[in-house]
Chains A and B, each alone.
Chain A
């Protein structure tokens, strides 16, 4: 079975500060990993995905994540937070290859303080 653990259900950062949202995964087979974002009253949108090519993955809106097998981590970062980044962020995992169930974490609400 696969799972992800998101550390911190709420994270607050100042505008312009580094954003770091933590995700650790558990998987008995090579995983595919995802970050999704949910803005208020909208569905979850894909930010980025890791599919075993490059370990550093760049996504939309300036976000990136690094796959670290030794740490079983896939943390999401952005160098400088904008007010528009305030949203809920979900880490997710699936088995590699084809149509696999995607398993989500509990989500982290990001607050950006002006």
Chain B
């Protein structure tokens, strides 16, 4: 069964360092997402990406964050200068095209990348 893969599974970094989290979405999916979950809190939406541009982003997704699809397969989340409060599990997800644009947007998630900022 097709799956979304994320690397690394766990990253520890120092405050102020740049981090890149990588994701390989399902190959025929068109929409890509990043969510995060701080320990004990909600799974929060960060950003959605379609047709090589951001389609929606949350208040959390400030100038410190960026996303990129550098080639036909990878989808990356970059945090330029990490803060302690960026420590969280980051989930990548993708969804397929909907016929006529209707129907439920079913997300397929990766296993997550745990980021620890010291």
Q: A residues near B, CB below 8 A?
A: 9, 32, 34, 36, 41-46, 49, 51, 90, 94, 97-107
Chain B interface size, as a band, is 20 to 34
Interface pair A43/B91, CB less than 8 Å apart: yes
Query: Residues of B at under 8 Å CB distance from A?
Result: 3-4, 6, 31, 35, 37, 40-45, 48, 50, 55-56, 91, 93, 95, 98, 101-112
Q: Which residue of B lies closest to A97 (CB)?
A: B102
SS of A interface (majority): loop
Q: Number of residue pairs across A and B with beta carbons under 8 Å?
A: 72
Identify which of A32, A34, A45, A104 contacts B35 (C-beta below 8 A). A104
Q: Give the distance to chain A from B46, nearest Cβ to Cβ, in Å.
A: 10
Q: Tell me which of B31, B55, B103 has the highest count of chain A C-beta atoms within 10 A of its own C-beta.
A: B103
Tell which of A42, A45, A99, A107 touches B105, judged by Cβ atoms closer than 8 Å: A99
Complex alpha-carbon distance, A107 and B37, angstroms: 10
Q: A43-B93, A104-B43, A107-B42 are in contact. List 13 more A-B contacts (CB 8 A).
A: A32-B104, A34-B106, A46-B107, A46-B108, A49-B104, A90-B43, A94-B105, A97-B102, A98-B102, A98-B105, A99-B48, A102-B107, A107-B43
